[in-house]
Structure 1
Amino acid sequence: MVIRIEAAKKRSIYGDEEEVGGWNVNKAVGSVLGCVFVVMPHLCVHINSAALLLSPRMVMLLSGPRVFAMTDTSESSIHFVTLGMFIIDQIHFPASGRVVDNIIGGAGTFGIIGARLFSPPPKLSRTIGWIVDVGNDFPDDIKLELKRWGTSLVLRETPERKTTRGWNSYGPADFRSFKYLTPKLRLAPDDFANTPLINSLSFHLICSPNRCRDIINTLSSLRSFRKEPVLIWEPVPNLCTPEELPACLEVLKLVSVVSPNAAELGGFYGLSESEAEKKVSIETNAEKWYVSGIGLRRNGPIIVRAGKGGCYIRYSEGGKWLPAYFDEEHNSRVVDPTGGGNCFIGGLAIGLVRTGDIILAAAYATVAASFAIEQIAYFYGQHEQDF
């Protein structure tokens, strides 16, 4: 019998790592993919000491050669670091006139949440590292909330400036408008120098092609580890244009994995959003990137995030589609896509570092993204926050 394990999504981020019999997100990975693929008795396997309920077909999908060698996680105390920003959001709902302020947000923050979902306290949560710039107006309750996550968080005091803040407006038909209310302060590799975070096993880069190249070159010069980290590049949307395509194809050779969404990938080829979201467009353009050469060995994967269509993985064994967490029957659960892509990257990175399997890592990523899109923003303090 197929079971969609919703209990897996009711375990708090503050849960006990040793909790006996408590469902966790690792189990959700297997259960949801099992229920999507085929109605068959489940086979129980173990990954990272957490049982996954997988259908036989899913086991077959995951049983091929690994794309990445299994990483020796004992080499570093940090498994994931994001160079994305932390932002405090102000959210406007024009239809009701409601305004909600001091909301935790930012691409880097959602990347951390995605990785943190698979890293329970007290030990694994500390393998997730990030820097948050604390301006002179930073709310104490948000600072306390971030500390509660139990990550390797660096709160960097910047009293000479205001905290990076954003203005968001939500409307019908997935409409969203955004602008900065205060000057942004981007993170750079030098910010992580002389901290354990610089030797992370993976990095989340969300930037333009040229900045991606500069970040990677600087990271290489600062790290003491000889082993290359897993570098996951998420292109920044406003620079996904045909003019940026040559620089994009060049920087692909420096990253381990690239993960645009369908619109971003299509944007490099001048496609409209509706055209870019077609499966044939996704597969065709992903093939172009894969053939151009990704990574030092020129065979790294591209994973295209396609929203309700799931994700498309082009890797050394061919191409595969994985479904979204929410199928048509449960699509009403999707409230807001904001942060879903960033959470996807965090889950993907942890999956790659700890399993080396690109398909399983994409399953981690899919489950991680589902937590973000079930709500508008990260409303903390109103109830026990579930990720």
Structure 2
Amino acid sequence: MAHQSDIDFVSLGTVDIDEIRVPGCQPMLDVLGGSGAFSTLGFRIFNGGAQAQTTGCLVLAGNDFPDAARRELEQWGATLVVKEDAQNASTRGLVKYAESMCGPKSYTHTHTTTPLTPVSMDLPILLLSSNTFHFLATPKELLDQVPFLTALRKAHGIKAPALIIWEPTPSSCVPANRPSFLTACKIVDVFSPNHVDLCALFSDIPEKNFDRKNIVARAYHFVGAKSWDKAPAMVLVHCGEHGSLLLPRDPKPKWLPAYYGQDAEGVVDATGAGSAFLGGFAAGWIESGGNVKEASVYGAVSASFAVEQVGLPVLTGGGKGERWNGVAVGERMKVFRKKLEDMEMAEMMEAMRLASLKPIKAMNGPDWISRRH
């Protein structure tokens, strides 16, 4: 077990057991998922070997939690805390695709009891000291949990501030909740909806026409809600195959590409990619000392591993030989950095081209004379 000060990431999202249904295929049963599992994966991908224990993993397991799911999580070597509830079933969901895994889908909870959702009180002291916390929550849940988490840490002598990343619950993203979203943003450090949920807060339908300008305008509504001590509050919008929008309070918006663009052959199932992005973002934030762009590069790479299969990617090897889906994380980072470099070069060349098309003032008259003398 890691020491208290060694934990860098904990998610308070759920770890679900899902059933996946695709027309014409046999149902896939007991698939490990949930925002807690995917965000933890995103962080763990960048922390292998001895660093694996810096990844905290909290699981609220029901009396039917599959042994295979437990073994899959144990293989990561993270600081795993499983709290068993003998009186209730595990959190389960049904994912139904309308046509194929590339098309629309629906998600419904199928358990008969209340979902086993972690709250701050469930954290043992070992995980309570984490440097970063990820929440999947409604505004009301967040407004209850973050102050309680802060007070609980203070009561245990944990004085260092933790980075709070908020991924909103999709069902709460409706226009009537916008005021409560603004209030909740004041107590978090990173507000990170996906583009669909962000637009749902304004009754937009982004699937019909992805509009970057509209996404930026909607995101600006939430920027700077929190007054930071050491860094500006920010909005981070993960937009699937369209990439991600970075929107700190002061600088101009920055778009980064996704590792897999539209219609990429490597994409099997995008479920959990947003949560994996945020786990990777947390890893990059810590590694880079708070560089937003670098953290988002890590997030994009984590998300790429999440979409290549149904459920979680397969871990093989160990130490420097560790691979996810047969690929070393360092190799994928190199590929993505090259993609990003090429994109930024193309943007610069286009900016230079547009600048060259601007009319040039004639060098005569009083203005020209004043510049000469």
Give the TM-score taking structure 2 as reference length: 0.78
Determine what percentage of the aligned residue pairs are the same residue: 31
For the structure 1 residues 232 and 379, does the alpha-carbon distance in structure 2 shift closer, same or farther, using more than 3 Å as the test? closer
CA shift, 1:351, in A, is 1.2
For the structure 1 residues 348 and 380, does the alpha-carbon distance in structure 2 shift closer, same or farther, using more than 3 Å as the test? closer
Task: Please name the residue that 1:114 is paired with.
Answer: 42
CA shift, 1:138, in A, is 2.0
CA shift, 1:75, in A, is 8.3
Provide the C-alpha distance between the structure 1 equivalents of 2:144 and 2:253, rounded to a whole number of angstroms. 30
Task: Give the number of the structure whose alpha-carbon radius of gyration is greater.
Answer: 2
Task: Please name the residue that 1:165 is paired with.
Answer: 92
After superposing the two structures, state which structure 1 stretch, 270-279 or 145-154, moved more.
Answer: 270-279
8 Å contact kept, 2:4–2:129: no
1:62-112 CA distances to partner (integer Å, 9 max, x unpaired)?
A: xxxxxxxxxxxx98210000000011111122223x111111111110001
8 Å contact kept, 1:174–1:336: no
Matches within 5 A, 1:1-387: 76-96=5-25, 98-121=26-49, 123-172=50-99, 173-182=102-111, 183=113, 184-192=115-123, 194-223=124-153, 224-274=157-207, 277-291=210-224, 293-296=225-228, 299-315=232-248, 316-327=250-261, 331-355=264-288, 356-378=290-312, 386=325
Partner amino acid, structure 2, of 1:234: E
8 Å contact kept, 2:60–2:117: no
1:177-206 CA distances to partner (integer Å, 9 max, x unpaired)?
A: 2222213111110111x4211111000011
After superposing the two structures, state which structure 1 stretch, 208-217 or 293-302, moved more.
Answer: 293-302
CA shift, 1:130, in A, is 2.0
Provide the C-alpha distance between the structure 2 equivalents of 1:339 and 1:374, rounded to a whole number of angstroms. 11
Partner amino acid, structure 2, of 1:120: G
Partner amino acid, structure 2, of 1:179: T
Count of residue pairs the alignment pairs up: 309
8 Å contact kept, 1:256–1:295: no
Provide the C-alpha distance between the structure 2 equivalents of 1:185 and 1:301, rounded to a whole number of angstroms. 30
Partner amino acid, structure 2, of 1:185: L
Provide the C-alpha distance between the structure 1 equivalents of 2:20 and 2:137, rounded to a whole number of angstroms. 24
Provide the C-alpha distance between the structure 1 equivalents of 2:194 and 2:235, rounded to a whole number of angstroms. 10
Q: Matched residue of 1:317: which SS?
A: coil
Structure 2: stretches of 5+ with no match in the other structure: 318-322, 328-373
8 Å contact kept, 1:252–1:295: no
CA shift, 1:269, in A, is 1.3
Provide the C-alpha distance between the structure 1 equivalents of 2:67 and 2:245, rounded to a whole number of angstroms. 41
1:110-148 CA distances to partner (integer Å, 9 max, x unpaired)?
A: 001100100102x21101112212222222222222111
Structure possessing the higher relative contact order (Cα contacts under 8 Å, 6 or more residues apart): 1
CA RMSD in angstroms comes to: 2.3
Q: Matched residue of 1:304: which SS?
A: strand
For the structure 1 residues 190 and 126, does the alpha-carbon distance in structure 2 shift closer, same or farther, using more than 3 Å as the test? same
Provide the C-alpha distance between the structure 2 equivalents of 1:364 and 1:158, rounded to a whole number of angstroms. 35
Q: Matched residue of 1:234: which SS?
A: strand
CA shift, 1:381, in A, is 9.9
Q: Matched residue of 1:308: which SS?
A: helix
Task: Please name the residue that 2:349 is paired with.
Answer: none
8 Å contact kept, 2:305–2:313: no
Q: Matched residue of 2:297: which SS?
A: helix
Provide the C-alpha distance between the structure 2 equivalents of 1:126 and 1:276, rounded to a whole number of angstroms. 43
8 Å contact kept, 1:277–1:306: no
1:244-292 CA distances to partner (integer Å, 9 max, x unpaired)?
A: 100111111110111111111111112123368310111111122115x
Provide the C-alpha distance between the structure 1 equivalents of 2:105 and 2:203, rounded to a whole number of angstroms. 22
CA shift, 1:334, in A, is 1.7
Provide the C-alpha distance between the structure 2 equivalents of 1:312 and 1:380, rounded to a whole number of angstroms. 29
Task: Please name the residue that 1:67 is paired with.
Answer: none
Structure 1: stretches of 5+ with no match in the other structure: 1-73
8 Å contact kept, 1:255–1:295: no
Give the TM-score taking structure 1 as reference length: 0.75
